Amino acid sequence: MRCDEVMKSNPECLGRGQTVQQAARRMRDLNIGFLPICDAGKVVGVITDRDIAIRVAADGKPFDLPCDQVMTTQVVACRPEDDIHKAEQLMGQARKSRILVTEANGKLVGVISLSDIAQQVDDPDDVARTMREVTDREARSK
């Protein structure tokens, strides 16, 4: 199965200059916890609800900061034509529960979450292994 068969197409994307408050409102309105940050359609980072809590709220920073000041710049991405197992592998290695799907030029075309994989992949052992790898960060912090 290919990544473009599993991904959510046409994902929401914010511009790097949009504010953290705009990101939080968009996440609330869409019931999501993750938004790619794009510049001219190309991914330059991501912002999560956790980024907002840890990097902004916990430090008492203003919510009118541009997203690019608090976003995560390490982007984990696969290509639409990649096998879904590659996406699982990248998610496990990076310990991320979501992965971007980008064209070779960095243009965002989709997002795959761990729940997307769980609903589409035939082998539950693959899903369980990926989930263990992704959640290893929480287990190690205790």
pLDDT digits (tens, 9 = 90+) for 75-88: 899 999 999 989 98
Q: Specify the pLDDT at position 126.
A: 61
Residue (of 129, 88, 133) closest to 112 by Cα position: 88
Q: Specify the pLDDT at position 133.
A: 62
Going from N- to C-terminal start, the domains of the chain cover 3-135
- When pLDDT is averaged across residues 129-140 and rounded to a whole number, the result is 58
Q: Specify the pLDDT at position 2.
A: 93
Q: Over pLDDT 90: what percentage of the chain?
A: 64
Residues 3, 94: Cα–Cα separation, whole Å: 17
Residues 110, 2: Cα–Cα separation, whole Å: 12
**Distance linking the first and last C-alpha atoms of the chain:** 36
CB-based burial, 50-86: b 16+ in 10 Å, e otherwise: ebbeebbeeeeeeeebbbbebbbeebbbbebebebee
Residues 100, 32: Cα–Cα separation, whole Å: 14
pTM for the full predicted model: 0.80
- The CATH architecture to which 3-135 belongs is Roll (3.10)
pLDDT digits (tens, 9 = 90+) for 28-74: 999 999 999 999 889 999 999 999 999 999 999 999 999 999 999 98
pLDDT at 122 over 70: no
pLDDT digits (tens, 9 = 90+) for 11-20: 999 999 999 9
